[in-house]
Amino acid sequence: MAGVSEDQKDPTSGAGHGARGVRVVRGALAALGGLIAGLVALCVAELVSAAVRPEAGPVTAVGGAVIDRTPAPVKDFAVRNFGNDDKLVLQLGILALLALFAMAVGVASLRYRRVGSAAVLVFGAIGALAAVERPDGRLSDALPSVVGGLTACGVLYLLAGRLAFRPSPHGDRGADGTADEAGKAAETAGTGTGDAATAGTDSGTFDRRGFVIAATAAAAASAGAGLLGRRLNASGAAEAAASRRTIVLPAPSSPAEAVPAGADLGIRGLTSFTTPNKDFYRVDTALVVPRVDAGKWRLRIHGKGVARPLTVGFQDLLQRKLIERDITLTCVSNEVGGPYVGNARWIGVPLADLLREAGVRPPSKGGPADQLVSRSVDGMTIGTPVDAVMDGRDAILAVGMNGEPLPFDHGFPVRMVVPGLYGYVSACKWLEDLELTTFADYDAYWVKRDWSREAPVKTQSRIDTPRPFASPKAGPVTVAGVAWAQHRGIERVEVRVDGGEWNPAELAAEDSVDTWRQWMWEWPATPGNHTLEVRATDRDGDTQTDKRVGTVPNGATGRHSVVVAVD
């Protein structure tokens, strides 16, 4: 192989002063060449992804593949520690790894020029495979990585050529093919082979200037391609945003009643009863938030026992009977005391109406399908019991959240919301397909990943104030928080100090059994360290257990407690 013979003749080995310097410079430039090749790959892929779709980019695709393969406990850890930044951390991690590999490949290509360039193709192939393998992947999704990889392969080959030693002025190297090749490559870049353009020692030179020019050109061209790709990708998003702006939500035929005056105790440090959209937790697997054009959106309802399959558009939905309801949504990954719970006022079409129109009967009425699988545009699948969505509860295909069309982060244009079930078994965002099937026949995304098939929300309560390790003054201290047991309702909340007697907390007015409920308790605090603990009882009469279990497979149990140091 030419690259090997090149190095065997490396005149710097064992040569005099300065040879080491050349070697270091050459190594550093080679690493830089690798980095630039990596940059080229990503930028070209970005540009090509604009022609395919933004989700097909290699970092997004590989990130998605990593998310899909992350075991539940690790994912849980990531969500817990990085919160809504978990995806940013993942992407930065992928980029950092890629940079390391790119530098290594760059250095390797000094010695093994073709092997190094070929290694770039392997990365392209990984990106391509990851993109096609995504749940919503198609063959064309491979294009960004393939084109990016091929381009980067060529660029690295060219750059490595510039770093090849060529005959020194002393003529101690034969005019072998490799050196010729390097010389020719240098000429192509218009640098000539004049001594001024070369860096070297007594015993070896390479085309440093040629490298710098080629590298700069590659970096600049790829940055341009990358920026253009960004632009183009953003324009698709802009159309979706425009479609969202033009939406006027009709008045619901069944509006929600005003939130009772006493539902929000207005206590400092206590979570507000209604969660503003911008503060609403976000949990999903999407590295690129899908931006769907509402005008092009379609929902298909089909599957087992669907007598009249339906396809509806966004405007069709808006013209139907709309209901408005306050519903508290909770994530199964919410730890005891955790933040992944929020309450919003949703507007949408009753899901049961649509299903009945399609001729669906729940299993309790002899229907053949017990599972409703909702699919999103990004390939998420979520399985919900048909009986639950048709048992009279307010299961909604939501189009509005707190008085505006759904935010993109929360599923625009349409998502599901089902009171009483954790989000992963009910709340599909960016919905595009509803299929009637059975739990025996099909496992949805999370079920394939260790989580339970069915998951009603567990009764929980949380202390919002005082905060952990707060140091309130002795005397009356307001202890307050929220409690939830969606679709059952909260009957009672109790608080105790240092494992003593349970004290009944005062409950805020109830909005509905589908929403959380604020509570407060006036604590006569005495100086010293104390542990506050809360427990809720739901309307079924079940009191939260103190037995701690983790979030996997169907939701955490245990009591939230907070340690404070009273002054």
Q: Which residues bind Mo ion (CB under 5 A)?
A: 283, 331-332, 423-424
In single-letter form, the type of residue at position 320 comes to R
Point out which span in 25-33, 198-206, 296-304, 428-436 binds ligand MTE (CB under 6 A): 428-436
* Least spacing, CB of residue 158 vs ligand MTE, in Å: 42
Residue of minimal Cβ distance to ligand MTE: 423
CB nearer to Mo ion: give 273 or 424. Answer: 424
- Residue 165 interacts with, from ligand MTE, Mo ion, none (CB under 5-8 Å by kind): none
Task: Identify which of residues 314 and 424 has a Cβ nearer to Mo ion in the complex.
Answer: 424
Binding of ligand MTE by 400 (CB under 6 A): no
- Indicate which single residue of 165, 281, 297, 408 sits in contact with ligand MTE (rule: CB under 6 A): 281
Q: Which of 179, 292, 418, 428 binds ligand MTE (CB under 6 A)?
A: 428
Residue from 10, 207, 284, 324 in contact with ligand MTE (CB under 6 A):
284
317 closest CA partner among 357, 258, 288: 357
The yes or no reply on residue 283 touching ligand MTE (CB under 6 A) is yes
Please pick, from the candidates 58, 338, 400, 423, the single residue that binds ligand MTE as defined by CB under 6 A: 423
Q: What angle, 0 to 180 degrees and rounded to 10, lies between the N-to-C axes of helices 113-133 and 86-111? A: 150
Interaction of residue 86 with ligand MTE, rule CB under 6 A: no
Q: Pick from 527, 244, 263, 545: which is nearest to 411 by CA?
A: 244
Q: Within the chain, how many helices (H) and strands (E) appear?
A: 12, 20
Choose from Mo ion, ligand MTE, none: what does 281 bind? Cβ within 5-8 Å by kind: ligand MTE
The residue among 263 and 428 lying less far from ligand MTE, judged by its C-beta, is 428
Q: Of these, 111, 114, 230, 282, which contacts ligand MTE (CB under 6 A)?
A: 282
Closest approach of ligand MTE to the CB of residue 38, in Å? 29
> Backbone dihedral region of 71: left (phi > 0), alpha (psi from -120 to 50 degrees) or beta?
beta
| Residues between 323 and 342 with contacts to ligand MTE, criterion CB under 6 A | 329, 331
* Closer residue to ligand MTE (CB): 198 or 285: 285
Give Cβ neighbours of residue 180 (< 8 Å, ≥ 6 apart): none
CA distance 158 to 212: 12
Q: Which amino acid is at 198?
A: T
Q: What angle do CA 242, 244, 247 make, to 5 degrees?
A: 115
Query: DSSP string covering 195-224, please?
Result: GGG-EE-SS-EE-HHHHHHHHHHHHHHHHH
* Two structure tokens written together for 18: 């300065």
Residue 428 binding partner per list ligand MTE, Mo ion, none, with a CB distance cut-off of 5 to 8 Å that depends on partner kind: ligand MTE
CA atoms within 13 A on the CB side of 139: 0
Smaller CB separation from ligand MTE, 143 or 401? 401
Indicate if the alpha-carbon torsion angle 158, 159, 162, 164 is positive or negative: negative
Per DSSP bridges, beta strands 503-504 and 490-497 are antiparallel
* Residue 40 binds ligand MTE (CB under 6 A): no
Q: Binding partner of residue 143 among Mo ion, ligand MTE, none, CB under 5 to 8 Å per kind? A: none
End-to-end alpha-carbon separation of the chain, Å? 77
CA separation for the pair 45, 506 (Å, rounded): 58
Q: Is the dihedral of CA 72, 74, 79, 81 positive or negative?
A: positive
CB of 283 to Mo ion, least distance (A): 5
- In a 13 Å sphere around the CA of 424, the CA atoms on its Cβ side amount to 27
Give the x-and-dash track for 403-422 against ligand MTE (CB under 6 A).
-------x------------
Q: Min. distance of Cβ 342 from ligand MTE in angstroms?
A: 6
Nearer to Mo ion, 3 or 420 (CB): 420
Residues that bind ligand MTE (CB under 6 A): 280-285, 329, 331, 376, 378, 380, 410, 423-424, 427-430
